Amino acid sequence: MNDRNKNQTQKYMRVGELSKYLGIGKSTIWLYVRQGKITSKKISSYITLFDVEEVEKALLQ
């Protein structure tokens, strides 16, 4: 993630978008959710969103 991309990112992303943005697999993102490393926001039965800033902060710890 470079600064240019960081400034142009959306506030919330779905798992596929976040996976591409972070360069990790979707299964790894779901593993982090199960482990409590990151949180998600389920807005419908089919849509789960992640706060990009929150995820970045959590993964930098």
User: With DSSP H G I counted as helix, E B as strand and the rest as coil, what are the percentages for the chain, rounded to 5?
Assistant: 50, 15, 35
* Spatial contact of 52 and 11, defined as CB atoms under 8 Å apart: yes
| Residue in 8, 12, 1 with CA at minimum distance from that of residue 49 | 12
**CA geometry: angle at 56 spanning 4 and 6, to 5°?**
10
* pLDDT band (50, 70, 90) for residue 2: low
Confidence (pLDDT) at 52: 97
Domains of the chain: 3-60 (1.10.1660)
Which two tokens mark 56? 């970045």
pLDDT tens column, 9-56? 689 999 999 999 999 999 999 999 999 999 999 999 999 999 999 999
Cα distance between residue 38 and residue 48, in whole Å: 13
